Amino acid sequence: YQMATGTPPFTGETSAVIFDGILRQTPLAPSHLNPKTPADLERIICKAMEKDREERYQSARDLLVDLKRLKRQSASHPSIAVARDGAAESYRWLQLRWLALLGLLVSVIVALGFWYLVPLPTPKVLAYTPLTHDRVRKYPPIVTDGSRLYFMTQKKTGLTITEVSNSGGETAAIDSHFDDIQLADISPNGSELLIGKFGSDAPDVPIYILPLPAGLPRRVGDILAHDASWSPNGEQIVYARGNELFLAKTDGSESRRLVTLARPASWPRWSPDGKVLRFTMGESQDFSQTLWEVNSDGTGLRRLLPDWSNPPSECCGNWTADGNYFVFESGRGLNSTLWAIQEKSGFLRRRNLEPIPLTTGQSNISGSVPSRDGKRLFAIQGAPLGQLVRYDARSQQFVPYFSGISAIQLGFSKDGQWVAYTSYPDLTLWRSKVDGTERLQLSPSSWVNAVHPQWSPDGKQIAFAGRMPPTRNCTSISCRQMVERLKKCPTASAANVFPPGRGMVLRCFSETYLTLLPSIV
């Protein structure tokens, strides 16, 4: 365009103004600035700069075809002789300018195509920095006002809200004026906490607003809920009650139903622009968790990542402050990792639709929240360990047993020579002799929560409860290898002892009775 007219198609004092012109303005036709511009060349230039992607050249090859056609047409029509050689030379120079311009356009289109096809660089966790060292168990969610972090810790009287600097240091309890209270969210300006007795026996409880750094909590109207969060503008809260989500003002007034769900929702979170809500919903049949979203006007309810994992175990997401990423957890057993969904693609950049792993391996990370500047993630990372002990009546002390291994739920064979146990915290099933020798892992690593081992009277089989994707099943295995699965018991939680004779009693929590299944030889 510039070579044909002598003027750039888009001008401005800053790159932002030029980019705005590229996206929104239509330049003058080349022939308006240079009447000598051939009509076919003008058509090619205008098509290359079309705003509508469907109207532009779809590939560099299409542009090349038109250029070759223009060249053939120019060659097949001899120039009219002119009186002076200078005029012919000027015409040839103009042709060279056009061809150079078209070559430049091809280069720009190829460069833009490459820019579009290559996705944005993926975010990465560069380093881990411990912020607390008090060895006190902590519970999500974590919320931040920009300079401090707030979360829950376990005390003798129950859960209490605790704070620490976002650069680390000593923790301090927040006086909520309740003996046992749970945290839900922090206001956008960081001056108030949303709290409630969410762990009580009642499914839905009153919620309160607690001023920071100190003050008396005030109840949010007559609202009952089991989770809640503030809107980005601080004027509304969304709260979960029963199988429904509601919106209300922060004083509890003007409450209205947003959407009715199949099951109770938890961890509701707003997008930074306030247009979308995302939340976690548990699946009753296989104890899995799924992420869902709905527009803030109650429309567009849909599940996120419907075919990403089986069974699904995604929960507890938060947007980064700029809205570019949505960070969530995905876990199996006591191992959970952090993932990110790219929400925005950037200028002329292709969006990465697949979740991006932020942590890997046995990370056991939960309750993550991005910092307000978007440069860090705060999370709870646990390293639970156990020690097997026995009580020595003579010394009246607990002493290490079975070499003090980290294990729970022991089951001994009838002859007392063998023991089956669940290792902790990975919750896999093992068996060994009582002196710790001949250890053998029995449950596959893909199983979740292989617990409650029970030996058959003949010592040849072990019954246990576990969950293997995609359903939760009770399974009988040999002491040497897995034999085969028993009849499906979709929501079984535990296997009882083998009764005398043939058969094994299994408890299925999807029913109200015990089921007798034949044992497998």
Residue extents of the structural domains in the chain: 2-117, 138-381, 389-517
Helix, strand, coil percent values for the chain (each to nearest 5) = 15, 35, 45
pTM (two decimals): 0.61
397 DSSP 8-state letter? E
Higher-pLDDT residue of 455, 3 = 455
SS3 90: helix
Burial (CB count <10 Å: 0-12, 13-18, 19+), residue 56: middle
pLDDT at 206 over 90: yes
If you average pLDDT over residues 245-272, what whole number do you get? 96
SS3 95: helix
pLDDT at 334 over 90: no
pLDDT at 471 over 60: no
**Tokens representing residue 435 in the block:** 């002196």
For residue 489, the model assigns a pLDDT of 42
pLDDT at 451 over 90: no
| Banded pLDDT at 500 (limits 50, 70, 90) | very low
Max mean pLDDT among 255-264, 455-464, 466-475 falls in 255-264
Taken as a whole, the chain contains a residue count of: 521
SS3 478: strand
Q: What is the dihedral of CA 59, 61, 62, 64, to 10 degrees?
A: 130
Pick 389-517's CATH classification: 3.90.700.10, 3.40.50.970, 3.40.190.290, 2.120.10.30: 2.120.10.30
Closest CA to 380 of 363, 358, 401: 363
For residue 161, the model assigns a pLDDT of 96
Summarize pLDDT for 56-77 with one digit per residue, the tens.
777 777 777 787 787 777 666 5
Instruction: Identify the bridge partners of residue 326 per DSSP, sorted by sequence position.
Output: 319, 341
Please state the CATH superfamily assignment of the domain spanning residues 138-381 in this structure: TolB, C-terminal domain (2.120.10.30)
Within this chain, domains 138-381 and 389-517 share the same CATH topology: yes
| Banded pLDDT at 42 (limits 50, 70, 90) | confident
